[in-house]
Amino acid sequence: MQLQVEEDGIVTLTPEGEQQIKDSPMYNDGLRPTRKSEHDWTAYNFASLWIGMCICLPSYALAAGLISLGMNWWQAVGTIILGNLIVLVPILLNAHAGTKFGIPYPVYARLWFGSRGAHIPSLARGIIGAGWFGINCWFAGAALDTLLSAMSGWGNITGHLGISFAIMWVLNVWIAYRGPEAIRRMEFWAAPTLIVMSLALLVWALTSAGGWGPMLSAPSTFKTSGEFWKVFFPSLTGAIAFWSTLALNIPDFCRYAKSQKAQIVGQSSSMPITMGLFSFIGVAVASATVVIFGEAIWDPAAILAKFSPFVIFLGTLGIILATVTTNVAANVIAPARAVENLAPKKMTYRMGVLITGLVALLMQPWYILENFSNYIFVWLGTYGALLGPIDGIAIADYWFVRKRRIHLAELYQLDGRYSYRGGFNQKAIYALIIGIIVPVICKNIPPLQIVWDGAWIFGLIISMFLYIWLMNGDRSLVSYSEYKSITKHAAEKAAG
């Protein structure tokens, strides 16, 4: 029986296919494959999505913070651009699966980890998303606190910073609660607004510092190449890990793409360019603060505090907009879908949003941001070591093991081919554990420290090749002839 139809490179369920799975405990309206009419995201939608996500306070802090670690401007910008070009590869590779089969990330993960094992990578991604959610809310809360303190006696109120954070937390949860479709509409107009505000910040730095020369004159503090490389590799891992989260759950967005071309062009033309430009702005402004204030200030709220109340007001609005566009897109959908996937017939996306917000509080973003070493070495470095192997397994499974052939209906069956043994694909679990353990062991062996510093890359490679080897000839694979038998193609549809 033909349960799915492929048209213009996009596979959707036939009416018979939908009928077969609609009563499954693994199915609900948020997790089902998208229908052809729902594939309406254009290249501009993906470009505006990435512009809105890249122009955010954590990316500013990442760029400017490299200056405080001792890099000069071109070393810092180059490190971030290189990291983003590297992570763009798995983003596009995983985006292909989301576009072709219209499935969200937790369902995509059922392919590699099994119907129950999928909770491992989806919850891992979800917890990290919740952490980022809290970090963005803390940045925005600090900016709001600066605004209110500059314009009134707000600073005399006990716990004023915590109250500001709570206000931004509630605002972000409320907006995210409205649903994923609101993201596309919001990013459409937010992207150009954020570009204008970012350029205005650069103009201020340029004029206040007296031109490009003084602004970018701060030299590297590294006395030897060895000192530089010691900071470069963990910083590169941090730059990669920054968007390694989206490299996993990009199917959550690309399941709505009009075509593969739309998502490839939209993402490739916006993500590395926007991160490069905004990184340069962050580095330039931090360098300018050395000239203007005598120290590198990488916290935007601390810079805002030095301006007039009107400028603080405009800057705070920009920070709030940047926070919302990043949080609701990059940091809520993945954990909300992960929660929804735990019990599809009982949990909803909106319940997932509320739980994400609560987990974000438990992760204490104020501690993560207490100093930059926590941010780059502890937070980004540690979760990069976790997500690298998962990225490697995802890419290996779709491109090399299954060769882009999926039986959609069986992704929603408890006893289907993707249930493996007891709902867990033990081969994926083995590949994940080894991909994590090897860099962790190398962390404590000085000659092999570079493996830990590049944990995302090494973990991805180790788990990828191990998974390919372990899955050779697995019973869950769909052969070419079987795929043809269950898939109706556009020409056949038109003829029938």
- Is 469 among the domain residues? no
- Is 278 among the domain residues? yes
Instruction: Note the pLDDT of residue 495.
Output: 41
- Is 23 among the domain residues? no
Beta bridge partners of 125: none
The pTM assigned to this predicted structure is 0.86
Domain residues for 157? 38-388
Helix 73-101 and helix 57-68: axis angle, to 10°?
A: 150
Helix 260-293 and helix 73-101: axis angle, to 10°?
A: 160
- Is 189 among the domain residues? yes
**At residue 28, what are phi and psi to the nearest 5 degrees?**
-155, 180
The first and second tokens of residue 321, run together, are: 């907009």
**259-296 exposure pattern, b = at least 16 Cβ within 10 A, e = fewer:** bbebbbbbbbebbbbbbbbbbbbbbbbbbbbbbbeeeb
Are 264 and 108 a contacting pair, CB within 8 Å?
no
The first and second tokens of residue 341, run together, are: 């996937």
- Is 199 among the domain residues? yes
Half-sphere exposure of 396 (CA within 13 A, CB side): 26
Beta bridge partners of 488: 5
- Is 75 among the domain residues? yes
- Is 229 among the domain residues? yes
Are 387 and 381 a contacting pair, CB within 8 Å?
no
**How many distinct structural domains can be found in the chain?**
1
DSSP 170-221: HHHHHHHHT-THHHHHHHHHHHHHHHHHHHHHHHHHHHHHTSHHHHT-PPP-
Strand ranges across the sheet with 4-7: 10-13, 4-7, 487-489
User: For the chain, which ranges sit under pLDDT 50?
Assistant: 492-496
Instruction: Note the pLDDT of residue 362.
Output: 87
Q: In this predicted model, what pLDDT tens digit does every residue of 414-460 receive, in sequence order?
A: 888 999 999 999 999 999 999 999 999 998 898 898 898 888 899 99
What's 237's domain CATH number? 1.10.4160.10
Instruction: Note the pLDDT of residue 404.
Output: 96
- Is 43 among the domain residues? yes
